């Protein structure tokens, strides 16, 4: 028996050739505990725990309707391009995020589109001392490199108070076989920031310049190598309202223009008629 320090959502752990190997909960796929587990297997295990009642649901799960679902994984641990929930299906990227509208089971997902850029935007709470941008950048770069084993060349950090933006960029042509995938790294990192660490006994302590950094909001955005395929039905109500207002304004402008021209036309006709009557009166 052994302990899987990098993944607590496993079972049947055993040591083999000096490496701790365990079976991922929900899928039974063997994982290497010396490295990060794929996001697809982690989500599978999380959903299995939720359904069995053995684990409390993440406090932020309700904020993202597509963020937590029971995924279909390949034997290698990556997401299958097509995901379904009963008779409803959709296509996902390598981060498992829906990138199409939802359809019936006839939906075709020809390829698993790669996520090449993940943007993690963090809003921090007020501090007693101002954040030093250099210290902040150093902390997050070293943490992501050491804790999640991602090569530093894929990481950039920008600070614009009170927002911290962490970019993880990894094109398919840049990624070597031994590199961690940014989708798996971002998932581990997001769970750590939300206090739901996947690590067994190693919670992330975010302390910069000897003061703990607290977070108010965390948002994650995904950029794929191929643009997503959403229709008008997928637009948010706010955006739809803006579009409707613009259309109404255009129609109102056209109506005013037509009405004004008609009034001008009537005025010109009346003026000509009055001039003709004056001429006839003078001639008489």
Answer yes or no: is 177 within a domain. Answer: yes
| Helices 133-147, 182-193: inter-axial angle, 10-degree rounding | 120
Asked whether the CA dihedral 239, 240, 242, 247 is positive or negative, the reply is positive
What are the tens digits of pLDDT across the range 37-93?
999 999 999 888 555 443 333 232 222 346 689 999 999 999 999 999 999 999 999
Answer yes or no: is 44 within a domain. Answer: yes
If asked whether residues 214 and 122 sit together in one domain, one would say yes
Q: How many domains does the chain have?
A: 2
The pTM score is 0.70
Please tell me the least confidently modeled range out of 2-11, 26-35, 61-70. 61-70
* Last-in-domain residue among 190, 210, 225: 225
* Last-in-domain residue among 225, 240, 260: 225
Kindly report the CA angle at 129 between 125 and 130, in degrees rounded to 5?
75
Task: Give the domain extent around 18.
Answer: 1-52
Over residues 211-215, mean pLDDT = 94
What are the tens digits of pLDDT across the range 152-167?
999 999 999 899 999 9
> Rounded CA gap, 75 and 26, in Å?
13
What CATH number does residue 183 fall under? Answer: 3.30.70
If asked whether residues 41 and 136 sit together in one domain, one would say no
Answer yes or no: is 163 within a domain. Answer: yes
Answer yes or no: is 238 within a domain. Answer: no
Answer yes or no: is 33 within a domain. Answer: yes
Top pLDDT among 176 and 247 is at: 176
pLDDT for 62: 22
40, 57 Cβ separation under 8 angstroms: no
In this predicted structure, the answer to whether residue 268 has a pLDDT above a threshold of 80 is no
Answer yes or no: is 95 within a domain. Answer: no
Answer yes or no: is 269 within a domain. Answer: no
């Amino acid at each position: 028996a052994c302990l899987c320090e990098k993944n607590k959502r496993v079972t049947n752990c055993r040591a083999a050739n000096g490496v701790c190997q365990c079976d991922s909960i929900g899928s039974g796929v063997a994982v290497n505990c010396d490295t990060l587990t794929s996001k697809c297997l982690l989500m599978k295990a999380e959903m299995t725990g939720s359904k069995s009642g053995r684990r409390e649901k993440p406090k932020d799960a309700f904020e993202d309707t597509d963020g937590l679902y029971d995924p279909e994984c390949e034997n290698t641990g990556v997401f299958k391009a097509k995901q379904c929930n009963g008779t409803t299906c959709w296509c996902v990227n390598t981060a498992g995020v829906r990138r199409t509208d939802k359809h019936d089971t006839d939906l075709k997902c020809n390829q698993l589109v790669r996520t090449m850029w993940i943007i993690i935007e963090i809003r921090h709470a007020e501090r007693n001392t101002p954040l030093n941008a250099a210290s902040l950048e150093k902390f997050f770069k070293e943490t992501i490199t050491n804790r999640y084993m991602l090569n530093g060349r894929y990481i950039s950090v920008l600070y614009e108070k009170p927002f911290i933006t962490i970019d993880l960029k990894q094109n398919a042509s840049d990624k070597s076989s031994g590199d961690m995938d940014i989708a798996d790294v971002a998932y581990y990192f997001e769970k750590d920031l939300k206090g739901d660490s996947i690590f067994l006994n190693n919670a992330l302590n975010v302390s910069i310049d000897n003061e703990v950094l607290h977070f108010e909001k965390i948002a994650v955005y995904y950029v794929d190598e191929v643009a997503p395929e959403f229709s008008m039905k997928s637009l948010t109500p706010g955006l739809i309202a803006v579009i409707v207002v613009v259309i109404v304004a255009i129609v109102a402008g056209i109506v005013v223009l037509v009405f004004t021209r008609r009034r001008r036309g009537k005025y010109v006709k009346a003026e000509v008629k009055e001039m003709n009557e004056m001429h006839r009166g003078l001639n008489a």
